[in-house]
Structure 1
Amino acid sequence: MAFVVLSGCPSSGKTTLALKLRQDFLARMADESYTGPSWEVVIVEDDIGVLGRTVYSESRLEKPVRASLLSEVTRSLSKRTIVICDGLNYIKGYRYQMNCAAKEAGVRACTIHVATPPEKCKEFNRTRAPTEAYTEETMDALLMRFEEPSSMARWDSPLFTVGWDDPSPPFDDIWLAMTSAVKKKANPSVVPNGQTATDTIQTLHSATSTLISHLLSHLSLSPLSPHLKLPSPPYPPSGLNLPQRTITLSELQRLKRQFEGIQMNGFKRGGEGVKRAGWGEKEWAEAWVRFLEVQWGVNEEEG
């Protein structure tokens, strides 16, 4: 139904606002004069786990947290819920991803920027329990990296700015935006083509993953083997020709992402992608083999 993204510096008061916002939404729906539908109001927070806020001190630790938060948001979005995302959400590209998720789910979305001065954020942070506080170094780094929401950016609009000491946040305007604003239509680039069946995508993933498993097992015994024999069907009887060099798992994962990305983009654009949407295991397996051989320059037909 609706999606609210809170954005603000660390210790700016986002959680406090999220709780007030949830209480306000529930009170409006419980009012006797309210005649509209009743929605569940859900607050989704970043799961920092046992590491606490130290996850924000290193990029390799923070990225999984952001990915987990986006996944939880995506699962929670529906026509029956109002989802409030309580997180830093300080990267504009990440807010764009969330906005795309809202469009795909067909729900209204808005951004609320909790505008708290950096010095006040640091003051609030010092009042937290040691296990809940950011270190001074992490705090400074996050304040420096913070990308403030802008009403000029379509993924941040409509944008509401709330001061940390605002006695009367614009809850009326936010409620109106969540219940009456025109829903944004998803761009073609984020809408899966209607002819792309879920089982087709699963088959694509299965074909690429299975070949990698066969190849890794083979390479563990013969690291410089020039050829891999594969089960046929679904793979071609000729198997897979290999380059005369070491093949790493990271390279295979990169090529897998590249191949699957090309196919997914094809689905969204239509044309030949629509035809491939009806492919089965045999077609995907053969296409994956051809793709690898071309990338490695070992395609006998090409050479």
Structure 2
Amino acid sequence: MPLVIITGLPSSGKTTRALELKRLLEARIEARIEAEAEAEAAAGQPLSVQIVGDDSLGVGHAAYAAAQAEKDARGALLSAVSRAVSRQTIVIADAPNYIKGLRYQLYCAAREVGTTHCVVHCAIPTAEARRINAQRGAAGYDAAVFEALAARYEEPSAAARWDRPLFTLIQHDPDDRLPLAAIWAALVERRAPPPHFATAAKPAAGSADYVFELDRATQAVVAAILDAQRSGVPVALLPVPGTAARVRMPARALTPSELRRQRMQFTSLNRQAPLPADRIAELFVEYLNISL
């Protein structure tokens, strides 16, 4: 079954909500099993609930103090979720998930296996999260790390397909209960969206021609970005040969290693759910515009 993406500021109560949701979902699953048994329904493989996050992956707060360690932590989360998510397992991704690009990648992982997802936003004023974090002492985030994460936090928006269905909870408010019925409906009762671009004709997954075209098209986009940067001429929207899509160039310079990593992640996500060959470059540009 589906993926629940937990997101929020540091010390906003994400793990508390994840544990609460796991308990409520397991109770709901148990009640469902008992009801089906009484009705002598055909027994299929029962649902299970699994939390995947910083705690289970051994990622400490210190990982968010350095750019490379943080990227490694995000990569470990994405890999673990991709391995765990299935039609019979509800996976709760309990991590900051504060970058919309990572939430998009997690959304892609759910779509790749043909299952549903939703986002639970643990909303809290920054000042309150700062106060709670300070109260935690050594168990909390370092003050500088907290401020950096808070400054970079990208709140989810129901307008973005990777952030909906979106459930926003006011943290540490005893009256703001998890909307279990609505979450259950979004995860279990809702029809899963088709894999990416399922209506288009696709080549066989892993075929040599497709892999070659995926490599060629993504490499061409990366080359266009690096060539534009080397020219020294600033550009906000970079045209890419072979597509009408344009890369929204950030104010900073993009390094070859960063672009290579983004390219590897994109190809990994789409190697088993092939894209239409004539849209690979366009979709990679869209991916970069979300992730960078």
TM-score bucket of the superposed structures, by smaller chain: 0.5 to 0.7
- Conservation of the 8 A alpha-carbon contact between 2:57 and 2:76: no
C-alpha displacement of 1:118: 1.3
- Conservation of the 8 A alpha-carbon contact between 1:46 and 1:66: no
The 3-state SS of whatever aligns with 2:168 is: strand
Partner of 1:162: 169
- Conservation of the 8 A alpha-carbon contact between 2:134 and 2:143: no
Q: Partners in 2 of 1:199 and 1:186 — Cα distance?
A: 18
The 3-state SS of whatever aligns with 1:11 is: coil
Q: Deviations over 1:246-279 (max 9, x none)?
A: xxxx89x96xx69x96x969x63248x9xxxxxx
Q: Partners in 1 of 2:103 and 2:131 — Cα distance?
A: 27
Partner of 1:10: 10
Q: Partners in 2 of 1:127 and 1:106 — Cα distance?
A: 42
C-alpha displacement of 1:85: 0.3
Q: Match of 2:155, as an amino acid? A: E
Partner of 2:290: none
**Gaps spanning 5+ residues in structure 1: where?**
205-249, 274-303
Q: Partners in 2 of 1:118 and 1:172 — Cα distance?
A: 29
TM-score (norm 2): 0.65
C-alpha displacement of 1:195: 4.0
The 3-state SS of whatever aligns with 2:97 is: coil
- Conservation of the 8 A alpha-carbon contact between 1:55 and 1:61: yes
**Root mean square deviation of aligned Cα:** 3.5
Q: Partners in 2 of 1:129 and 1:113 — Cα distance?
A: 24
What are the residue-to-residue correspondences of 1:246-257 with 2, within 5 Å? none
Q: Partners in 1 of 2:170 and 2:204 — Cα distance?
A: 45
TM-score (norm 1): 0.63
Give 1 or 2 for the bigger CA radius of gyration: 1
What are the residue-to-residue correspondences of 1:1-303 with 2, within 5 Å? 1-31=1-31, 34-35=35-36, 38-46=46-54, 52-128=60-136, 130=138, 132-164=139-171, 165-167=173-175, 168-188=177-197, 195-198=203-206, 200=208, 268-270=275-277
Q: In the superposition, relative to structure 1, how do residues 147 and 197 fare at CA in structure 2: closer, same or farther (>3 Å)?
A: closer
Q: In the superposition, relative to structure 1, how do residues 119 and 26 fare at CA in structure 2: closer, same or farther (>3 Å)?
A: same
Q: In the superposition, relative to structure 1, how do residues 183 and 169 fare at CA in structure 2: closer, same or farther (>3 Å)?
A: same
Q: Match of 1:126, as an amino acid? A: A
The 3-state SS of whatever aligns with 1:268 is: coil
Q: Deviations over 1:151-185 (max 9, x none)?
A: 11111000000111143221111111111112112
The 3-state SS of whatever aligns with 1:83 is: strand
C-alpha displacement of 1:199: 7.7
C-alpha displacement of 1:116: 1.3
User: Structure 1 segments of 4 or more deviating over 6 A?
Assistant: 48-51, 190-193
Q: Match of 1:163, as an amino acid? A: I
C-alpha displacement of 1:86: 0.2
Q: In the superposition, relative to structure 1, how do residues 180 and 138 fare at CA in structure 2: closer, same or farther (>3 Å)?
A: same
Q: In the superposition, relative to structure 1, how do residues 171 and 49 fare at CA in structure 2: closer, same or farther (>3 Å)?
A: closer
C-alpha displacement of 1:109: 0.4
Q: Partners in 2 of 1:138 and 1:192 — Cα distance?
A: 44
Counting matched residue pairs gives 221
C-alpha displacement of 1:28: 1.0
Q: Match of 1:159, as an amino acid? A: L
Q: Match of 2:188, as an amino acid? A: T
Higher relative contact order (CA 8 A, sep 6+): 2
C-alpha displacement of 1:52: 2.5
Partner of 2:215: none
C-alpha displacement of 1:123: 2.1
C-alpha displacement of 1:197: 4.8
- Conservation of the 8 A alpha-carbon contact between 2:123 and 2:170: yes
**Gaps spanning 5+ residues in structure 2: where?**
213-255, 281-292
Q: Partners in 1 of 2:51 and 2:129 — Cα distance?
A: 22
Q: Partners in 2 of 1:192 and 1:48 — Cα distance?
A: 38
Q: Partners in 2 of 1:108 and 1:9 — Cα distance?
A: 24
Q: In the superposition, relative to structure 1, how do residues 270 and 199 fare at CA in structure 2: closer, same or farther (>3 Å)?
A: closer
